Amino acid sequence: MQIFRLSTQHLLRCASAAVLLLASSAFAQNSPAPKPDTRPWMNKALSPDERADLVIKEMTLDEKMNFVHGTGWNGLREGAEIPKGSLGGAGYVQGVPRLGIPGINMADSAVGIRLAAQGSHYATLLPSVLGAASSWDKDALFLYGSVIGRELRDTGYNMSIGGGVDIARDPRNGRNFEYAGEDPVLAGTMVGELARGVQSNQIMGDIKHYAFNDQETGRTTVNVSIDQRAARESDLLAFQIAIGLANPAGVMCSYNRLTIPPSVPTDWACENDYLLNKVLKKDFDFKGFVLSDWGGTHSTVHAALSGLDQEEPGSKYFGDPLKQAVQGNQVPVSRLDDMVHRVLRSMFSTGVIDNPPVTQVVDPFRGRDDAEHIANESIVLLKNAGDILPLNASSVQSIAIIGSHADVGVLSGGGSAQVDAPGGNAINPHPGASIWMEHVYFPSSPLKEIRKHAPNVKVEFDPGTDNAAAAKLAAGSQIAIVFVNQPMSEGMDAATISLPDNQDGLVDAVAAANPHTIVVIESGGPVAMPWIDRVEGVFEAWYPGIGGAQSLANLLFGEVDPSGRLAITFPKNDAQLPHPQVPGIDLVKNPGPGHHRTGELPLFDAPATEGVRVGYKWFESKQEQPLFPFGFGLSYTTYEFSGLKASEHQVTFTVRNSGSRAGTEIAQVYAVLPASTGESSFKRLIAWDRVALAAGESKTVTLKFDPIYLSIFDLGKNKFVLAPGDYEILAGSSSHDTTLNTTVHIAE
């Protein structure tokens, strides 16, 4: 079967390559070489800023206005007008054909391109961003972004509006799967690499939702308040790192309101002078444009003067009202020119004007292979009692596969990050694009892949809808693998980290029937595991993408060593969290079962009382033991660390594979700041490396890090400073397991 599948893939690949070749050679024969464009701004020797200014000189006021707002809801709302030139994605900005400036076609593409089905396109579903961040692999995240960029190019889009880097302050946030976890340095680095990957295809990239859009409950009415120093050292640091790495074309400001004492009064994120002008544009030196989240603009003059450059998706405030404000001098022409300049310079700097997308058939096989590669590194092995894993296909006689539609597919995340499944939802096929908040399964069948890896083993499936039937199959099988799921989406938060739909009861029933039970979790984020002591194996598979089933089988049978490590803490229960409930969730009138569709709520306050202590920092400062700490994950081999040396910008140590199989350890380096900083009750991640080691092999690694990762934000100086004192530097295999330590002294 495997051979047949590969050869079919090969044939299809060759066929599509041949079609492309024929098409391009026919084109080459019939069309004369295009005349060079001699317009002054097409001179590539000039900088993007010079080129943008040359265009602006030629533009009328109306042409300038095109670039500061979108053209409506396009493909997002049934019946909405799709303007000429728009591909029907989430946003469209009209260009100026007279000057050779194309329009901007924006596609939601957090984990793959959204709404592909409506254009009869294929789009690769990648593992969730949280999963990919758990690879701690910069190259994998660059690859992630380049898959998105490549497929955007192939379908004619020139801007991605993915790149979410909101910090996981609450594990119940419905969009955590779109983001890169709880640590600002890890998340910022991973999402920065992702956006670089997008832009490497000469597609405009984006980072969102700026900032503190860390919950879905009341996202358009909530007022998040957080102390300014904590703000700079947490969420804003993640944005700073991502933006610094990627130089993205766009930054999408968020829906929520913000209060940042001591000096920043309450305001919407999309018209917040501190956030947009002072921090983003001045301190981070962001050269691109700020676009509002869809419907996140609230005023004309105030928003324009506070740093918003483009209203999306429509023109309620930045259409005629802004034109009149410019004509009436309430918004200076120079500010309008700055807004337009930021858009145009991003178009030049990314290459969308010099090398616009050329549509061609998306290569689904290449996308699938890339998705599987990333999933191999993302899935985290959390428990392996008695070395039940990896499974040995030649010594196991029977395996029961139970639950979560594992016979047909793997779960994906919802909302604007929803990708359309090829052939439709595997559990509910219907024509057209996915329906908002439906639970979409992709046709990557764990049952089939496990059977392929174990052709001589009896592998049977039970849907898990009846605990007694599931237990019966489990009791008659040598190994039981239970799949459980937690569907998550934009527009909702989980009411609790407990699994929905009584799935804990299913695991209990199976574990009681079979002592060799392995649980595979497909979830948006952390879930509670009250049954953890009664099962032998646990994999956190996240939403594993279109290559998810293959990847799971690779890991279950040990063809790939598990190298994923949690990018987010797994608490034991909700009571351990800074907020026992998601703030504002009590205002939701008609919560769904287990989840809360948030809808519109009245204005309310959500003080981020945990401040800088997000995730593991909270647990450490409270001396609480989570279920699984940040950075945790098992391998099929073991590692030893030795010989740590450190300075204020670099560490060196040795990692040895002390087991008998090859594997990849994620060596993690943390720091504890001096007591004078007030931040000595928890660690901070400052560096890491993926170290691939053959059995018995040792490698000495030297890791450099930015001294701001050791610094505190000094409000008076408005910059990061290294406080004098002793810094404890620790290295090991998770935030909890740091076997090495040394001290670095920073003098006054």
Nearer to ligand BGC, 294 or 531 (CB): 294
Give CA–CA dist 402/473, Å, rounded: 9
Contacts of 6 by beta carbon, 8 Å cutoff, 6+ apart: none
Contact 401/460 with Cβ under 8 angstroms?
yes
| Phi, psi angle pair for 728, to nearest 5° | -85, 125
User: Binding to ligand BGC by residue 268, rule CB under 6 A?
Assistant: no
| Phi, psi angle pair for 55, to nearest 5° | -65, -45
What's the Rg (C-alpha) of the chain?
A: 26
State the DSSP string of 387-441: G--S--TTT--EEEEESTTTTT-EE--BGGGPPPPTTS-TTS--SSSPPTT--PE
String marking each residue 419-448 x if it binds ligand BGC according to CB under 6 A: ------------------------------
String marking each residue 57-76 x if it binds ligand BGC according to CB under 6 A: -------------------x
Closest separation between CB of residue 269 and ligand BGC, Å?
A: 12
Contacts of 159 by beta carbon, 8 Å cutoff, 6+ apart: 91, 104, 105, 106, 107, 152, 203, 204, 205, 206, 249, 250, 352
Nearer to ligand BGC, 308 or 723 (CB): 308
Contact 160/205 with Cβ under 8 angstroms?
yes
Strands 698-704 and 650-657: antiparallel
| Phi, psi angle pair for 414, to nearest 5° | -105, -170
Give CA–CA dist 260/207, Å, rounded: 21
User: Binding to ligand BGC by residue 293, rule CB under 6 A?
Assistant: yes
Closest separation between CB of residue 486 and ligand BGC, Å?
A: 20
Nearer to ligand BGC, 110 or 231 (CB): 110
Closest separation between CB of residue 170 and ligand BGC, Å?
A: 17
String marking each residue 192-231 x if it binds ligand BGC according to CB under 6 A: ----------------x-----------------------
Site for ligand BGC in 542-601 (CB under 6 A): none
Nearer to ligand BGC, 390 or 491 (CB): 491
Closest separation between CB of residue 206 and ligand BGC, Å?
A: 8
Closest separation between CB of residue 178 and ligand BGC, Å?
A: 8
Nearer to ligand BGC, 225 or 256 (CB): 256
Map residue 315 onto helix, strand or coil.
coil
Nearer to ligand BGC, 169 or 341 (CB): 169
Count CA within 13 A, CB hemisphere, residue 21: 6
Site for ligand BGC in 469-498 (CB under 6 A): none
Contact 494/523 with Cβ under 8 angstroms?
no
Nearer to ligand BGC, 434 or 735 (CB): 434
Q: Is the dihedral of CA 191, 192, 194, 195 positive or negative?
A: positive
Closest separation between CB of residue 253 and ligand BGC, Å?
A: 11
Give CA–CA dist 278/581, Å, rounded: 33
Closest separation between CB of residue 107 and ligand BGC, Å?
A: 9
Nearer to ligand BGC, 76 or 379 (CB): 76
Closest separation between CB of residue 26 and ligand BGC, Å?
A: 38
Closest-CA residue to 573 (of 525, 509, 526, 629) = 526
User: Binding to ligand BGC by residue 416, rule CB under 6 A?
Assistant: yes
Nearer to ligand BGC, 296 or 525 (CB): 296
User: Binding to ligand BGC by residue 529, rule CB under 6 A?
Assistant: no
Give CA–CA dist 605/603, Å, rounded: 7
Closest separation between CB of residue 94 and ligand BGC, Å?
A: 18
Burial class for 26, CB neighbours closer than 10 Å (0-12, 13-18, 19+): exposed
Closest separation between CB of residue 76 and ligand BGC, Å?
A: 6
Cβ atoms within 10 A of the Cβ of 7, count? 10
Nearer to ligand BGC, 250 or 629 (CB): 250
Nearer to ligand BGC, 81 or 320 (CB): 81
User: Binding to ligand BGC by residue 294, rule CB under 6 A?
Assistant: yes
Chain CA centroid to CA 209, Å: 11
String marking each residue 102-141 x if it binds ligand BGC according to CB under 6 A: ------x---------------------------------
Count the residues of the shown chain that bind ligand BGC, applying the rule CB under 6 A.
8
User: Binding to ligand BGC by residue 90, rule CB under 6 A?
Assistant: yes
Per-residue CA distances from 259 to 37, 210, 331, 584, 613 (Å): 49, 14, 25, 16, 18
Closest separation between CB of residue 295 and ligand BGC, Å?
A: 7
User: Binding to ligand BGC by residue 311, rule CB under 6 A?
Assistant: no
Residue 96: both structure tokens together: 């100026």
Closest separation between CB of residue 342 and ligand BGC, Å?
A: 19
H or E, element range at 504: helix 503-513
Nearer to ligand BGC, 63 or 108 (CB): 108
Nearer to ligand BGC, 315 or 416 (CB): 416
In the complex, the residues that contact ligand BGC under the rule CB under 6 A are 76, 90, 108, 161, 208, 293-294, 416
